[in-house]
A and B are shown apart, each in its own frame.
Chain A
Amino acid sequence: MSEILLEMKNITKRFPGTVALRDVNIDLREGEILAIVGENGAGKSTLMKILSGAYPHTSYEGEIFIHEVRQRFDSPKVSERAGIEMIYQEINPHLDLTIGENIFLGQLPTRGRWLVDWDEVFDRTEEALKKVGLDESPREIVRNLSASKQQLVAIAKALARNPRIIVLDEPTAALTEKETENLLQLLLELKKKGISCIYISHRLQEVYKIADRVTVLREGETVSNYVGKEIVNDVIVEDMIGRKLEQMFPKGKVAIGGELFRVEHFTVPHPYTYNKNIVNDVSFCVNKGEILGLGGLVGAGRSELVNAIFGIIEHNKEAKIFVEGNEAIISNPVEAIKAGIGLLTEERKKNGYIGTMDISQNISLASLEKISKYSLINFEKEQDFARFYSDKLDIRAGRLSDKLSSLSGGNQQKVVLAKWLMTNLKVLILDEPTRGIDIGAKVKIYDLMGELVQQGAGIIMISSELPELLAMCDRVIVLADGHITGEFLRDKVSYADIMKAATCA
């Protein structure tokens, strides 16, 4: 086995009121890919912030060694100098600068003292881009690149600094399957060149493909460490959540009743291109107690379809929506909510919650009429509702008056869900409800979906995670290029069926 490159020893990090990390030990060998997995809130990000120097060495207990030399990182610059490069989940490139400028930002090579040596910038950028297999001009403006290419630029930027260790935190969150594959290949190649890598991801399948070793964190502690053949999915997931796997998709059998919700001939025009439709003449129905899955590839029109149903974007005039047999005219979210529809959107941060407001205010956001009389808010009633839902959904936060921006992604998602549960909900539309949240929160959301349908509601779920879609949905319809290309019942469908329908545009 190769030499130990990096060691983090007995790291304990306290925040006021909580211990984020307790006596955590991590080591990384030369040319090794180490995956760190764990639920959100397990302490992965905190640990990486310590490694990157974002938390200075005086703010925690424990020591960091590189080649057995004690390191004292008190800022990201110092850690960078020691050869550690971080690539974060949310890449924040300067969108209106060129690729070259982005890569050399902060250390532009100069000619003399004041003049930027642009030739060198772009030459070296070209080299860096070659390393990550990105075929773009170094002079391209970053805004024009897709999210995945921007991610590659971020990696190129890290590599341009010749690091010994690169740390990737959820790097594939914005990538398509193929792009992910490319990224993983790239990491394996870098490994051959002797660059060690710490890889953090919720997507365990990726982890299994590349990791030499997996360390599991749970609630701020290192729980286990697996090497090579010991890396087995079920064992790792159970370590992460601290319980048995059968409880992962806890959907019981629910009797499916009569028709609850139906849409007919839905067409959504393309917002920019004239005479082109994103969704084309789609009709479907959802029954009482049923979970209907919407499968398909990114860009198939699934989100557009549900957004149009909810009245956020425009649809054709001929389209009809029926709730419990009565036609509902919906041209904006107000009318959709009145008709008993709730929509948990794909982008939680952009339009799911309000970061400046607290938990109880976010929960009551869509049902103020339930806690007010003559438009006066009854704060006790609001607290009661908030307490009820936060218990029910196991929202883990200090107080109900905590601002949403201070919660973890999983807890934020639970709050958004609670907001919809509090409305007079008949049909709940979930657009990628478990994206980017930890397994514990996922299970809680699955639990709740089961409970909802038991009470006679209907659910429409969009998900790009096939295991989730197949395990949770009674019926799946697949969209490709705006058309329905398949409809499958649970128990009679395989991954292959869905993929085939999704790609048969």
Chain B
Amino acid sequence: MGDYKKKVLIVLQMPEVGVLIPLVVLSIVIGIINSAFYSFENLINVLRSTSFIFITAIGMTIVLVSAGLDLSVGSVMALGSYVTALALTNDIPMPLCIVIGIATGMLIGIINGLVVVRLNIPPFIATLGMFYMAKGMVLIASKGIPIYPLPDSFNVIGQGSFFNIPYIVIIALFLGVLADFILKKTTFGRNVYAIGGNAETARLSGISVDKLKLSFYVIVGGLAAFTGLLLASRMGSAQPSIGQQFELKVIAAVIIGGTSLFGGKGTIMGTFLGALFMTVLTNGMSLMRVSPYWQQLIIGAIIILAVAMDQYKRRKK
């Protein structure tokens, strides 16, 4: 019994719990108003939408923990999906197309990283510029016209499922567990926190700060492109508008999940809960028939509320 109590206490003291409470409250409220929220189908829907945010948010967590920022992920999603679709319609084997799509995102990451590290430009500016540039590349190449149909062998990734669990959810889960492991147990992960805590100290302690920072942008770029092509696969079409406003959803999920904007703090578990929170909120409002005109306003207010509660709890400690 004592052991059990201790375990509960440990769980309650985890930083992620900051989101957990609002998340549970929100789920209960939605469930009371519309029990359809708890239908298996809807829960799967929620998990699927969460996965789209979560996959990129994994990379964003790494970047934010290391005291960086990437605003370009939404545009990179569009670019990644577009390049993949282009490859697919040119008779390149499907797995290779996916690699090409992800590589495109990683290339953007390299550019972001180099601009930050070599030109010493703040990540906000560097990636804001890339946000427009990547979007521009898609628009120039596509002239605004989506690519479809896409081959079924590709669409099945986004549309298929395994025992009713969508592949996308499985992929996201796998990536999440992997990233959590890397951040917690490897020297790479340790260095992410070290750089975010104090980059100068990290450098003087023999950590190759610049190389690592570059790699963080490559990771988030690759994951964003991957998310983009998953979205295209889900819709069976590569829309130039894919990923619009996704960067904000992703950053919101990471911050709600307890990651510090100043770096040094944050976990993958928290980010997952943050992404789940964002999705439940949107999903719940549709179920509760909240007017679409009101939804954005409410989302904004609740994001602030959730983070404020978290801050309050921390300060009390």
Q: Which residues of A contact B (CB under 8 A)?
A: 310, 312, 333-334, 336-338, 343, 345, 350-357, 361, 365-366, 368-369, 372, 375-377, 419
Contacts and interface: CB of A to CB of B under 8 A. Distances in A.
B190 A354 contact: no
11 contacts: A333-B204, A333-B205, A350-B200, A351-B201, A354-B201, A356-B193, A372-B186, A372-B187, A376-B185, A376-B186, A377-B186
Contacts of A369: 187
Interface string B182-201: 00011110110110111011
A375 B204 contact: no
Contacts of B198: 351, 353-356
Given A356-B265, A377-B185, A345 B190 contact: no
Contacts of A361: 190, 193-194
B193 A351 contact: no
Residue with the highest number of chain B CB atoms closer than 10 Å, among A343, A350, A365, A369: A365
B237 to A, nearest CB: 41
B2 interface: no
B92 to A, nearest CB: 34
B176 interface: no
B264 A356 contact: yes
B289 interface: no
B42 interface: no
B15 to A, nearest CB: 12
Contact of A354 (B186, B187, B197, B206): B197
Nearest to B260: A356
Contact of A351 (B204, B263, B265): B204
Interface string B163-187: 0000000000000000000000111
A334 B206 contact: yes
Nearest to A335: B206
Contacts of B196: 356
B203 interface: yes
Contacts of A366: 205-206
B34 interface: no
A355 B194 CA distance: 9
Closest 9 CB pairs of A and B: A356-B264, A354-B197, A356-B197, A366-B205, A351-B200, A337-B206, A354-B198, A365-B205, A368-B187
A351 B200 CA distance: 5
B259 to A, nearest CB: 12
Given A353-B198, A356-B265, A368 B203 contact: no
B208 interface: yes
A375 B200 contact: no
A333 B199 CA distance: 13
A353 B199 CA distance: 10
B190 A368 contact: yes
B128 interface: no
B17 interface: no
A343 B194 CA distance: 18
B307 interface: no
Contacts of A333: 203-206
Contacts of A354: 194, 197-198, 201-202, 264
Nearest to A423: B206
Contact of A312 (B185, B188, B204): B204
Contacts of A372: 186-187
Contacts of A377: 185-187, 190
B305 to A, nearest CB: 25
Nearest to B188: A375
A365 B202 contact: yes
B298 to A, nearest CB: 33
Contacts of B207: 334, 365
Given A352-B201, A354-B202, A357-B193, 5 more contacts: A333-B204, A334-B206, A338-B206, A355-B197, A368-B190
A420 to B, nearest CB: 9
Nearest to A347: B200
A369 B191 CA distance: 12
A345 B205 CA distance: 11
